[in-house]
Every structure is written in C-alpha cells, then in structure tokens.
C-alpha cells in the first residue's frame, strides 16, 4: 500500500506557493500519496505570538528575495512581489477545505496562488475567487456558500486543531506519522523520512 | 582566480553548528574559497526585535528536532540538546574573530561547537574555552587577553556592521557580492549562485 504524506497548507502563506506547485509531482514520483490538509496557520501563529515579518522589514525583504530565487530554482514562475497579507477572512482557505473533501484541492490551490502571485489578485476577495473557481469549471455562488457553511468552518477548525496538536506552527508542513517537517525547503527531507520509516 | 564566498557566522547560533561542520568541505569541493567572518547576530536580532524562539516553546522544540535530523542527514554528530543560549559575553565569538584574522577560525569554530553540542560545555565560559584552545595548541591566556582587547572588539563590531549593511539578520549567512543566503539549508543555493554569477 502506498505511504501517505500529509501536507498541511495555509493559502495565505508565502512559501506555500512553492509547495503547492511542486509537492504533488515530487511525491508522486517518489511513490507517495499526498493528503492536502488546509488549516489556519494564522490562528496558531497569533496564539503563539509567532509573527516572523510584522515590524521586521529586513527579514521581510529577504523572504521575498529568497522566495524568488527558490522559485527560479524549481522552475516555478515568479514575476513580482504581490500584496501581502491576503485572504483576511480565510475564505479562500475554507474553499480549499471544501476542495480537499471533494478531491480538487491541488488544482484549486495552484489556481488561487496563480491569481495571487502572478496577477496580484487576492483570492480571498470574492470577485477574484469567483474567477479562480470559474477557471476550474466550478460554480462560484455554490462553492462560496458552502465555504461559508458551518460544516466547512468546523472542518477547517478541526484540521487546524489537528495541526496544533501535532506541534505545527508554520505552513507548509509535511507530516508522516507524528514527524513534522516545516517549510517548502523540507519537502525532500519529509519524503526521504516517509520512505525510510 | 578562485571565487570567494563569505560565511558570516555567530557562535551562539544553533544551526551554525551544521554549517561550521560542512561548509568548508563543500566549498572546497566546488572550487570556491570560504571567508569566515564572525559577527554578532545577537546584536542585530535584538535591534530588529527578531527573537524567533523566546517565548515560543513549540517552535523551539521543532528547531532542535529539525537540527537533529539535519545533522543525521549530513553525518554530523548530534547527541542531545545542549544548554541554550550560550556565550553571554560573546567571548567565544571574539576569539573566532581573532582566529579569522590568523587563519584558524574553521578549526576553532568546529572545536567550540564540539564543546557546546557534544559535551554541553559553553565555550563562552573561560574554563571550557581554555580547554578548546589547548586542544588547538593555543595559549589560552594570551588568546583570551587578545579577544578582550579593544582591537578585536572593534574588529568584531566592524564585521557586525558589514553584516548589518548587507541586510543580514541571521546566522549562518552566506554572501556573494551582495547576494545574501540565510541558513545552513541555503548553503547549496549560495554555492550554486556563486558559481553561476
């Protein structure tokens, strides 16, 4: 049976752009299945007073430069620094939760990040989100209503609680059993660990 | 002429343990020379209110687990979590500055980290520092007096100012021209960049 690596992701995270665009292909090539698990890392970071960039302009500037270089390294498009933070109400995050239950999270996450990073359109805004959903042949009104339902809100919160209980504090995080790997730059480590254990 | 990659290091940094034990060999294998430049990242981090672990036990616990795994990945010994932070007065840091001017910084940094990580002996304490220096056939009294001299203090401060002006905010950082790569996990990126530019 194929081993399964959990991929905890937050759609407002910058480096998660890289993971969304390369994790699935890499996992598949290595014979693993990837379980996409959207969650609210923002809630956890606020709880833990973990704000790596707020009031830290030098570190923030470095992050974008590093992210640009890493994108080049992995042949992922990067044009310019988009507005950040985004998705204030985590609506796009909850759509990802719905998409994960229905099997279209990888495509949605890539499209949402494409809007954000390549067109500077915040996928948390309804008009941009609607365009992303239409590009995937989804009905925006229906999907957005579901993303705002209590059921999806509860699911998003429950996944956040799972992440919290695992000691996750950042996105992306990759988990096999209870072993946590944080960061797109730990994807290879996570895959190696998963294969070896 | 051989290209030179700058290696800014702070002896109280945890991940710098990995870089100290692998950067020189990797740079040499890739045909680059490595210039070891000790500096006080602690001063810069305090200035920037950048305290990634203070009051963040979940992130701190992850850091040690990740560091342990990365050490295994690179065949660098890791036995248990040493006391942290260390070198409160940055005496070991200033010895590294002196060592860098005299050409024995790589050996000193490895020995100081060996004391800290493998024997849980803070190299900032004079008795442990003396043992480290003796293991390198250096005269502890003489070296420590020099490390406390105004000349070496000024040199340490000047290197810190160079780091600050480059936008460095963490250790280890690797720099080629003005391109900064932060983290032991960016060593390969830095080397590739240096070779390509």
Nearest chain A Cα to B179, which residue?
A65
Determine the pLDDT at residue B1: 80
| Residues from chain B contacting residue A167 (CB–CB below 8 Å) | 58, 61-62
**Do B49 and A69 make contact, defined as CB atoms within 8 angstroms?**
no
Q: Which of A47, A59, A64, A196 to mutate to test the interface with B (most CBs of B within 10 A)?
A: A59
Q: Where are the domains of chain B?
A: 4-196
Nearest to A39 by CA among A47, A31, A30: A47
Distance from the Cα of B56 to chain A's closest Cα (Å) equals 6
Mutate to test the interface with B, among A58, A71, A166, A191 (most CBs of B within 10 A): A58
What pLDDT digit, counting tens, does each position of A145-181 carry? 999 999 999 999 999 999 999 999 999 999 999 999 9
CB pairs < 8 Å spanning A and B: 52
ipTM over 0.90: yes
Q: Does B51 touch chain A (CB under 8 A)?
A: no
Q: Which CATH superfamily groups domain A4-196?
A: Glutaredoxin (3.40.30.10)
Condensed to tens digits (0 to 9), the pLDDT of residues B142-193 reads 999 999 999 999 999 999 999 999 999 999 999 999 999 999 999 999 999 9
- The model carries a pTM of 0.97
Q: Kindly report the nearest CA distance between residue A59 and chain B, in angstroms.
A: 7
CA distance B59 to chain A (A): 7
In the stretch 153-182 of chain B, residues with CB closer than 8 A to chain A read 167, 169, 180-182
Q: A175 in helix, strand or coil?
A: strand
Q: pLDDT for B74-97, tens place per residue?
A: 999 999 999 999 999 999 999 999
CB A62 to CB B167 under 8 A?
A: yes
Q: What pLDDT is attached to residue B11?
A: 98
């Amino acid at each position: 049976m194929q081993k399964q690596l959990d991929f905890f992701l937050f759609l407002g995270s910058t480096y998660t752009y890289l993971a969304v665009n390369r994790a699935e292909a890499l996992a598949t090539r290595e014979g693993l299945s990837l379980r996409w698990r959207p969650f609210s890392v923002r809630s956890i970071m606020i709880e833990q007073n973990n704000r790596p960039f707020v009031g830290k302009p030098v570190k923030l500037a470095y992050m974008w430069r590093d992210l640009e270089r890493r994108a080049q390294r992995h042949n992922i498009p990067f044009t310019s620094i988009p507005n950040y933070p985004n998705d204030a109400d985590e609506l796009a995050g909850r759509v990802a939760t719905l998409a994960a239950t229905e099997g279209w999270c990888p495509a949605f996450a890539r499209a949402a990040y494409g809007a954000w990073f390549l067109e500077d359109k915040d996928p948390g805004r309804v008009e941009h989100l609607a365009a992303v959903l239409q590009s995937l042949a989804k009905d925006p009104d229906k999907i957005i209503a579901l993303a705002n339902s209590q059921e999806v809100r509860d699911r998003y919160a429950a996944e956040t609680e799972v992440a919290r209980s695992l000691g996750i504090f950042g996105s992306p995080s990759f988990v096999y059993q209870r072993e946590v790997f944080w960061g797109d730059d730990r994807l290879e480590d996570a895959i190696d660990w998963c294969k070896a254990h």
